[in-house]
Structure 1
Amino acid sequence: MTATRADGPFDVVLLGEILVEFFCEGPLGGETPVRLGFSGDTLNAAAAAAAAGARTAVLTAVADDALGDALVARVAELGVHTSLIRRGPGSNGAYLLHGDVTGEREFTYWRRGSIASRLDEPDVERWADALRGAGALVVSGIGSALSDGSRRAVLAAARTAAGAGAAVLYDPNFRARLTTTERARAALAEIAPHCALVTPSCPADARALFGTEDPARAATAVRALGARAAAVTSGAERVLVADAGGVVGLPVPHVADPVDATGAGDVLAGTTAARLALGDPLRAAVALGVGAASLSLAGRGGTGHVPPLAASRAAAPAVPEG
């Protein structure tokens, strides 16, 4: 298949699904007000990568309807290029986020058979030149779990980008609603050898994928699968970075008045990928990602507050020697 030209080259390409978000606060009922938005790990990470100074694009599929038009407009509003988005018939994945006065949140998803879940290797072939020209690629376990075709697309994109020298970042993002531990482990094992960095969370990802709640053991397991480095997040505690030079712990900056932790891991991934693509050393890139992720807690939703690069630099922890 002949590759289609994009308006690249791009520093960072992200492959995955962007979701329509319906948010309601208060009791569900016939006249409950609902706010429309757009979210998902791919969009959250893309917005962060763009804010970190990278020329960023998302490789996805979006329904060719009015809701899809609004979704694409939001992508562009966040400073992310839309030329790798395939438009066509179908429906966009969506979810209802219901928050009550106690702060509890419930998610109801509609994404089975969505247009982005039907991404496959031909989509990767179509934009192969953009992937080969990128400095970094961000993919996730959510993309791998959406369908067999989407899993093939994630792996093909990683092979294509890594083969051309790009830094591939994989966020396992294990979701029991989407996949099993066995399938998630298999997806990680097949993509890890192509990855410059894998960013599991602990305890959630670490427990499901490696059977441990120890960040150091999770990092060791990631590298044993063939990834060049791991950055294991542990909520507000620290981020453990393991690479060929050893292991260091990066403290997470204190957030005085956090609003919402949704998408903080995505912000870390997107920011880190951007800085890797722009030439920062791995540990410095992760530290900047930690700073950006902590600042993102000031907004509601994954793109409620996308910190500018200068603010992320100021918040980034110092990188210890090790």
Structure 2
Amino acid sequence: MSGEHGSGDGTAAAGGAEAVCVGETMALLVPDPATPDPGTAGAVGDSAPGYRLEIGGAESNVAVHLARSGHRVAWHSAVGDDAFGRHIRARLDAEGVHCRVRTDPDRRTGLYVKEPDGAGGTRVRYYRAGSAASALGGPDAGRVRAARPRVVHTTGITAVLSPSCRELVDGLLDGAVPGTLRSFDVNYRPALHGPAEAESVLQAARRADVVFCGLDEAAALWGAESPEQVRDVLEGPGLVVVKQGARGATAFRADERVHEPAPAVGVVEPTGAGDAFAAGVLHGLLTERPVQECLAEGARLAGAALQVPADIPPRSETAGGAVWEGGLAPAGPQPEGTRTPPDGGPRPPAE
């Protein structure tokens, strides 16, 4: 693997980042009605969509939202020596995220494709096996921890990509680092998380300081049926945030229990909304806001992400009737004709 490279303007160098997000980012192809696919002309009609190149990755999604909220953020990962890897770095650079990545000459950058399923939904195909990021490992955790950021964020997706990635996540979460919050989002994916992985993800979550978990995820992985049961299963984290889809989100910290209703928005695509929510909560924690305000910011950012087909909304997307620019937005009346997202939302297969 080739050497590690930083990028950006230097203002968010890894050693000075408030938050470091660690995990794989892939190239993403999303349907684009404005770009007809010439390969389908005459076969399925001239209106068949082509595809637009975006990027997608749970941890880098969080990094982008935090950068838009005014934080110094680094993304730690690996990409292939290919056009997709260069595109990912350029996109994150443009968002103000410092890319602390290694370019692997022997492994490719991962790719996934969102396809219309013919029933108004989306089918997702992943091409990530053997990717550059799957070779991340324990030494990467040491470098991240040595930088002493205020937040380190990773997910249950990264934890099960490969044995070396499990070592990476273990290294990030094992042992408290003074002044650093260890944040972990379960991010359940049925094709990645079998019975053995369910236990490993549980053990990882128990070692974190902040955990995000959907109630539907906890039910599938551990049989938990209520936010209180999720809190009890996890045991260790200082802050447990349970996402409940249309019923909002509930957070537990010490003896405090806080609930935030879900925003009413029109749902275009649920993928990426959970990452936006996590970023909103982390933004609130970094700015030392009460838990209720942290949840409210998470709900607003998730509402914006639900309304676009890509994982990350444009800066001008509206959420809750207010223009979203990455910071705390005022609450306001919901536009007519909007709806709350379905409970949990569909979860695409991985691989």
Over the residues paired in the alignment, what is the CA RMSD in angstroms?
A: 2.6
| Structure having the larger proportion of residues in helix | 1
C-alpha contact (below 8 Å) 2:30/2:310 kept by paired residues = no
**Is 1:35 aligned to residue 52 of structure 2?**
yes
Q: Summarize the Cα distance change of 1:104–1:190 in structure 2 as closer, same or farther, 3 Å threshold.
A: closer
Report the TM-score, using the length of structure 2 for normalisation: 0.79
C-alpha contact (below 8 Å) 1:136/1:276 kept by paired residues = no
Distance 1:246 1:105 in 2: 38
Distance 1:108 1:309 in 2: 29
Counterpart of 2:185 in structure 1 is 171
Equivalences for residues 228-247 of structure 1 within 5 A: 228-247=238-257
Distance 1:206 1:220 in 2: 11
SS for the counterpart of 1:280 is coil
Counterpart of 1:320 in structure 2 is none
**Is 1:138 aligned to residue 147 of structure 2?**
no
Equivalences for residues 157-236 of structure 1 within 5 A: 157-159=172-174, 162-193=176-207, 195-203=208-216, 205-222=217-234, 224=235, 226-236=236-246
SS for the counterpart of 2:70 is coil
SS for the counterpart of 1:291 is helix
Counterpart of 2:21 in structure 1 is 14
Listed as ranges, the gaps of 5+ residues in structure 1 are 318-322
Distance 1:286 1:124 in 2: 28
Report the TM-score, using the length of structure 1 for normalisation: 0.86
Residue from 312, 337, 341 that aligns with 1:303: 312
Equivalences for residues 1-80 of structure 1 within 5 A: 6-24=13-31, 30-31=39-40, 33-80=50-97
Residue from 262, 269, 280 that aligns with 1:252: 262
Q: Summarize the Cα distance change of 1:65–1:25 in structure 2 as closer, same or farther, 3 Å threshold.
A: closer
Displacement, 1:235? Answer: 0.9
Distance 1:51 1:220 in 2: 34
**Is 1:313 aligned to residue 332 of structure 2?**
no
Residue from 284, 288, 295 that aligns with 2:297: 288
- Tell me which amino acid in the other structure corresponds to 1:175: R
Counterpart of 1:110 in structure 2 is 127
Distance 1:101 1:209 in 2: 30
The total of aligned residue pairs comes to: 305
Q: Summarize the Cα distance change of 1:178–1:152 in structure 2 as closer, same or farther, 3 Å threshold.
A: same
C-alpha contact (below 8 Å) 1:48/1:271 kept by paired residues = yes
Query: Which piece of structure 1 moves more, 275-284 or 92-101?
Result: 275-284
Structure 1 or 2, whichever has the larger Rg, is: 2
Counterpart of 2:104 in structure 1 is 88
Q: Which of structure 1's runs of 4+ aligned residues deviate more than 3 A?
A: 3-8, 24-32
Displacement, 1:163? Answer: 1.5
SS for the counterpart of 1:227 is coil
SS for the counterpart of 2:250 is strand
- Tell me which amino acid in the other structure corresponds to 2:214: S
